[in-house]
Amino acid sequence: MEVIMQWLDEIDDLVSMIAARSESLRRLLRLVAASLVAALALTLGVAATLLQPAVAPVMAGLLGLAFLYQRQQDRVPARL
């Protein structure tokens, strides 16, 4: 779980550097990044569920964290 949060932080830093002058582009890139992480968590969750059903709640939690992270990023002012 910590690895995914680290990925999200690194993606956020990269997005901030790329879109330093455009807030709308920054929001779009953050949405895409969070969607990719959520898709990864969902894919891992499905695979883990097929392999071992006890892992499903952990993967569901990771998916929830990705969405919560995106919502939090939309509320935080841009870092310069």
**Residue ranges per structural domain of the chain:** 2-75
Note if the pTM is more than 0.75.
Answer: no
- CB-based contacts of 45, cutoff 8 Å, min separation 6: 55, 56, 59, 60, 62, 63
* pLDDT tens digits along 47-80: 777 777 777 677 777 777 777 777 776 665 555 4
How large is the average pLDDT for residues 15-40?
74
What is the overall mean pLDDT for the chain?
A: 73
pLDDT of residue 74: 66
Average pLDDT over residues 7-30: 73
User: Among 31, 32, 14, which Cα is nearest to 79's?
Assistant: 14
pLDDT at position 75 is 66
